[in-house]
């Protein structure tokens, strides 16, 4: 059943409300001409209501009725998601996926008529009618008027946005300019419908801030929902305490438990809650355990002043233990002062001391691994460590020794059971065995693994490789052929060694068009579509996340497919990777920004499949991606690299030549491909080393080169940075996939089979 908009004028005639309601319901069943006529009548009725509203310069008491269903440009005669025969899917010639036009033809459905707006496949572009474009421009105008505080003009123009997907954003923005008791009714109505949307959450926060300043405890408790602001969280507790006369049953106990949870925080809390905390402490709830928990959190947050403040609430013995923890965190080398750390005979205290020792050794090992070993041997005599604790320290020491290239690393790995080794520990054990050429032990290692682990491509490959080097060619061949069936770095490497074609294991996901169409018409999807058109990718992702949160588990794959059909590649990639469409290769590896990437790859004279692979790994084709270290855009170019390229090009260019803009996709790809070409040149044409250098930097990669020849596949396993090691494997695998998707019949990893790495780059 259709429901009317929540923000209907309260003093308007009931017939007008009914008309707006009927218009919503008729949308799905009437012809286009009838819809247009009704929409026009609705606009006239809404305007008539607005003329009767009392408006001041500071406030707008009520806002217009609106419909998220009556979308301009949506035609019942169009089949969203369908391409005409002369308008192929952008990837149709490069990818094996089945497009929706095929589904429509099989089902006997008509395809979209030329010129009609298609909300599913083309959320923006040529097939958008004039009315929708007009509303987009008007939306930007309304937001500008609100920012300039021209509220009367903004309100009058807001009328014309009825039915536009982003109407709730404009409406919330106007409401936020006048958060007061006069607008309480319309704010409540808005939050009832849009309270869990991004504009609704923002409006709720503004409303709570207003109520907090007014000390309106009853309304605050009524309208409160969890907030990130500590001040608002504090006021929620204060408000509930003020209304304690209404408590029933376990309300009081639950309240004080929430106060405890709020108090256990790693940073200072608002002073407004100090009075409440005093009452809480008088209840006897500030126990030593609670204080201890907060003191440890303060240490982790680096809040030394808060930490020292909390110590005063603890007995002297506990103060000394926490102070010891603080000193060891600041200087793990203090763990070698054996006279300060010794067993006490108290079970709880000794357990805590063991934890301090393990944490300190885990940090000391990176600076002084031999003294770490000496300290570990001492404390094993001092304390009784559990098996789990012993394995943890032994594994950490083994990995550190392997990273440092110490020959005794194998001895420490062999103290561990295979079942107790994490993937990281196994990787470093493999690296140590490869460094020492212990191929016999690699074979033994794999055979000691659980059967399902033995069948993983990495272990099939390395057992086969080891057997081949040991002369057992028949068994080695069988293992390599088995590994070559996988679609990953090891599978492609095995296929290269065996001269077999790479196996993509592609499984195209079947699409139920009705489900995809239904999802595309949900308000969250329509709002995301509009934000994409407006190049507001952050807001689009927020709406998309809301769509995913509200969708069922079954619908998640269709949300990913919808993003794929829209050309929203990063959301499609993320969604498909976590669904049962993992083998839908063409959608998980789209030929995104095809013209842009291939054009600049050709200009830089680098392999276009390599560029696609880099962009896929770096950003998943998210044009506004920003990494924690500041890399930006499709190719994740660092600002320092951009400055370097700008300075270099400026020296040979005219003064009027514009500098590269790192956030412009065109410039970002241009800089990324130019940098790849430069790395390739600096590494003497070795694209393996250039790939590693794009992630870790050329100078660091130069430090990793061996003095004597080392097989390329072994060198990859010995890259000391896990991030770079995983990066290289992923990019090479992606490059193989994109080579095939671009129509090239080549085994990209074939050069690695005979490649030798040495101090000069390639032997």
Residue with tokens 């996926």: 97
CA angle 93, 94, 95 (to 5 degrees): 105
Contacts of 553 (CB under 8 A, 6+ apart): none
544 close to 524: Cβ distance less than 8 angstroms? yes
Q: Is 618 a catalytic site residue?
A: yes
Q: What are phi and psi of 637, to 5 degrees?
A: -80, 130
Closest CA to 745 of 754, 736, 756, 758: 736
- Residue in 396, 530, 618, 678 annotated catalytic: 618
CB within 8 A of 155, min separation 6: which ones?
Answer: 50, 55, 60, 63, 174
Could you tell me the two tokens for 653? 């260019």
Q: Which two tokens stand for residue 134?
A: 């007009």
- Are the beta carbons of 708 and 693 closer than 8 angstroms? no
Question: According to DSSP H, which parts of 159-249 are helical?
Answer: 167-176, 184-194, 198-214, 217-223, 230-242
338-342 long-range Cβ contacts below 8 angstroms, 24+ apart: 338/378, 338/382, 341/379, 341/382, 342/382
- Please count the residues of the chain: 763
32 and 76 Cβ atoms separated by less than 8 Å:
yes
Give Cα separations from 556 to 207, 501, 526, 576 (angstroms): 33, 33, 17, 9
What crossing angle do the helices spanning 151-158 and 130-147 adopt, rounded to 10°? Answer: 160
- Cα separation, 713 vs 742, in Å, equals 26
As annotated, the active-site residues are 618
């Amino acid at each position: 059943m259709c429901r009317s908009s929540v923000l209907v004028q309260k003093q308007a005639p009931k017939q007008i409300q009914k008309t707006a309601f009927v218009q919503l319901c008729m949308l799905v069943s009437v012809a286009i001409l009838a819809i247009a006529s009704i929409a026009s009548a609705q606009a006239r009725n809404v305007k008539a209501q607005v003329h009767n509203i009392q408006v001041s310069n500071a406030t707008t008491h009520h806002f217009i009725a609106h419909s998220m269903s009556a979308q301009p440009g949506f035609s019942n005669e169009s089949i969203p998601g369908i391409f005409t025969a002369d308008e192929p899917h952008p990837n149709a010639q490069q990818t094996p996926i089945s497009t929706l036009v095929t589904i429509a033809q099989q089902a006997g459905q008509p395809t979209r008529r030329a010129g009609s707006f298609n909300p599913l496949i083309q959320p923006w572009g040529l097939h958008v009618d004039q009315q929708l474009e007009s509303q987009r421009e008007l939306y930007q105008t309304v937001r500008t008027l609100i920012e300039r505080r021209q509220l009367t003009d903004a309100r009058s123009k807001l009328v014309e946005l009825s039915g536009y997907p982003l109407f709730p954003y404009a409406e919330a923005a106007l409401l936020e300019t006048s958060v007061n008791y006069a607008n309480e009714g319309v704010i409540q109505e808005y939050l009832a419908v849009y309270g869990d949307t991004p504009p609704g959450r923002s409006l709720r926060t503004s409303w709570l801030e207003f109520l907090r300043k007014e000390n309106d405890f009853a309304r605050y408790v009524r309208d409160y929902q969890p907030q990130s602001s500590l001040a608002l969280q504090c006021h929620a507790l204060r408000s509930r305490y003020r209304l304690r006369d209404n408590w029933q049953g376990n309300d009081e106990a639950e309240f004080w438990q929430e106060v405890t949870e709020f108090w256990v925080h790693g940073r200072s809390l608002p002073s407004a809650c100090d009075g409440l905390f005093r009452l809480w402490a008088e209840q006897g709830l500030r126990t030593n355990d609670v204080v201890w928990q907060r003191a440890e959190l303060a240490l982790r947050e680096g809040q030394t002043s808060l930490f020292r403040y909390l110590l005063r609430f603890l007995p002297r013995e506990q103060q000394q233990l926490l102070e010891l923890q603080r000193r060891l965190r600041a200087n793990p080398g203090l763990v070698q002062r054996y006279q300060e750390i010794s067993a006490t005979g108290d079970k709880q205290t000794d357990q805590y001391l063991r934890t301090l020792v393990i944490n300190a050794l885990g940090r000391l090992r990176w600076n002084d691994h031999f003294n770490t070993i000496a300290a570990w041997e001492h404390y094993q005599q001092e304390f009784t460590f559990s098996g789990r604790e012993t394995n943890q320290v032994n594994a950490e020491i083994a990995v550190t020794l392997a990273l440092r290239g110490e020959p005794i690393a194998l001895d420490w790995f062999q103290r561990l059971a295979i079942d107790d080794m994490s993937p990281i520990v196994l990787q470093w054990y493999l690296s140590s065995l490869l460094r020492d050429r212990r191929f016999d032990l690699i074979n033994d290692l794999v055979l000691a693994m659980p059967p399902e682990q033995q069948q993983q491509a990495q272990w099939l490959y390395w057992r086969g490789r080891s057997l081949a080097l040991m002369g057992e060619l028949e068994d080695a061949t069988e293992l390599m052929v088995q590994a070559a069936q996988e679609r990953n770095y090891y599978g492609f490497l095995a296929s290269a060694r065996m001269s077999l074609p790479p196996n993509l294991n592609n499984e195209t996901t079947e699409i139920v068009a009705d489900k995809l169409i239904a999802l595309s018409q949900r308000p969250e999807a329509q709002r995301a579509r509009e934000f994409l058109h407006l190049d507001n990718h952050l807001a689009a992702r927020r709406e998309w996340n809301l769509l995913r949160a509200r969708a069922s588990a079954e619908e998640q794959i269709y949300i990913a497919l919808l993003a794929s059909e829209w050309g929203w590649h990063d959301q499609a990639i993320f969604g498909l990777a976590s669904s049962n469409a993992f083998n839908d290769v063409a959608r998980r590896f789209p030929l995104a920004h095809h013209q842009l990437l291939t054009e600049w790859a050709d200009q830089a004279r680098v392999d276009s499949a390599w560029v696609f692979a880099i962009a896929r790994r770096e950003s998943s084709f998210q044009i506004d991606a920003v990494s924690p270290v500041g890399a930006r855009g499709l190719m994740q170019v660092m600002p320092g690299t951009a400055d370097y390229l700008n300075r270099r090009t400026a020296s040979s260019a005219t003064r009027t030549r514009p500098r590269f803009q790192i956030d412009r996709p065109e410039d970002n790809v241009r800089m990324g491909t130019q940098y790849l070409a430069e790395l390739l040149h600096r590494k003497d044409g070795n694209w393996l080393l250039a790939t590693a250098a794009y992630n870790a930097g050329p100078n660091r990669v130069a430090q990793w080169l061996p003095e004597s020849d080392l097989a390329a596949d072994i060198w990859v396993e010995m890259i000391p940075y896990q991030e770079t090691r995983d990066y290289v494997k992923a990019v090479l695998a992606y490059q193989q996939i994109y080579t095939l998707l671009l129509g090239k019949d080549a085994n990209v990893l074939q050069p690695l089979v005979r490649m030798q790495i040495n101090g000069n780059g390639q032997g």
